[in-house]
């Protein structure tokens, strides 16, 4: 299927690796010009070159912390008026909520809610004027199924979901959509690092810990990053203009509910 977005300009945050990288790759495969972002300049440049070689697309790497005003300025200097914005950011580490101090909570909310809102503020009016815009926010399956130890991540991302729900409806008539992708257990470095902690705590091998975790998923496997990237690309497509304000859960059936 031709997604109808060849030539569109996209910004994908936190895209040097993992799910963000997969989204950038999928958009580049569809003919988009892509701005990728991360803090590790060497790793980011490596990813940019890999995407260029694989797709032939124009890829610009912006090494910056987009949570800062300077980082956001650098991002929009590279692409002043994107047609597509994919918001993504790493979540806070596992921690008992009793251990969270006020500044840690503030930092978590800024990273996983405020920064995304600030970026949406910057792109949305030009999108409305042009009559096309696609905003996809990568949150987490924990928005629908909160996990103890990820309380800060769940709370901040749920706040972003609620904040942008009304915004999505206010711009829908201008062919600007805002949606959310909620990943469950995908085979990423973050997932593997968490499993390693579990393996150590339980005194079992990494292989056994992986098998135990996969067994909890109805699909009996972890998601692959490219699956996630293609889902993102579809939500950014010309064919997805009637989908807005939605939370698409990609978790292999892990969440038990009739409404997703």
Phi and psi of 10, rounded to 5°? -130, 140
Q: What was the pLDDT predicted at 149?
A: 80
pLDDT band at 256 (very low <50, low <70, confident <90, very high): confident
Query: Nearest 5 degrees, angle CA 138-CA 187-CA 237?
Result: 40
Over the stretch 218-230, which tens digit does the pLDDT of each residue have? 999 999 999 999 9
Of residues 89, 87, 77, 153, the one with CA closest to residue 119:
87
Q: What was the pLDDT predicted at 139?
A: 95
Residue 138 has a CB neighbour count (10 Å cut-off) of 23
pLDDT band at 146 (very low <50, low <70, confident <90, very high): confident
Q: What was the pLDDT predicted at 233?
A: 98
DSSP string, 17-77: SHHHHHHHHHHHHTT-EEEEEES-HHHHHHHHHHHHHHH---EEEEES-TTSHHHHHHHHH
Inform me whether the pLDDT recorded for 187 exceeds 90.
yes
How far apart, in whole angstroms, are the C-alpha atoms of residue 30 and residue 6?
Answer: 6
Phi and psi of 220, rounded to 5°? 60, 35
Over the stretch 79-136, which tens digit does the pLDDT of each residue have? 999 999 999 998 777 788 989 899 999 999 999 999 999 999 999 999 999 999 999 9
């Amino acid at each position: 299927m031709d997604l109808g977005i060849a030539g569109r300009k996209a910004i994908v945050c936190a895209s040097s690796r993992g799910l963000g990288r997969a989204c950038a790759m999928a958009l580049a495969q569809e003919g988009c010009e892509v701005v990728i972002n991360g803090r590790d300049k060497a790793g980011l440049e490596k990813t940019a070159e890999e995407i260029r070689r694989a797709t032939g697309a124009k890829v610009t790497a912006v090494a910056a912390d987009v949570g800062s005003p300077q980082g956001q300025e650098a991002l929009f200097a590279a692409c002043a008026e994107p047609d597509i914005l994919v918001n993504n950011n790493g979540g806070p580490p596992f921690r008992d909520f009793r251990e969270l101090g006020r500044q840690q909570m503030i930092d978590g909310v800024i990273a996983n809610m405020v920064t995304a809102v600030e970026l949406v503020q910057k792109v949305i009016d030009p999108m409305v004027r042009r009559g096309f815009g696609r905003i996809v926010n990568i949150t987490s399956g924990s928005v629908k199924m909160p996990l103890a130890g990820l309380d800060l991540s769940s709370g901040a991302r749920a706040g972003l979901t609620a904040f942008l729900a009304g915004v999505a409806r206010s711009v829908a008539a201008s062919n600007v959509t805002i949606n959310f992708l909620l990943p469950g257990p995908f085979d990423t470095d973050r997932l593997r690092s968490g499993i390693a902690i579990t393996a150590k705590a339980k005194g079992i091998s990494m292989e056994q810990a992986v098998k135990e975790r996969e067994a909890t998923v109805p699909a009996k496997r972890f998601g692959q990053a490219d699956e996630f990237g293609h889902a993102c690309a579809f939500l950014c497509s010309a064919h997805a203009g009637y989908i807005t304000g939605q939370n698409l859960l990609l978790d292999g059936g892990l969440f038990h509910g009739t409404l997703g």
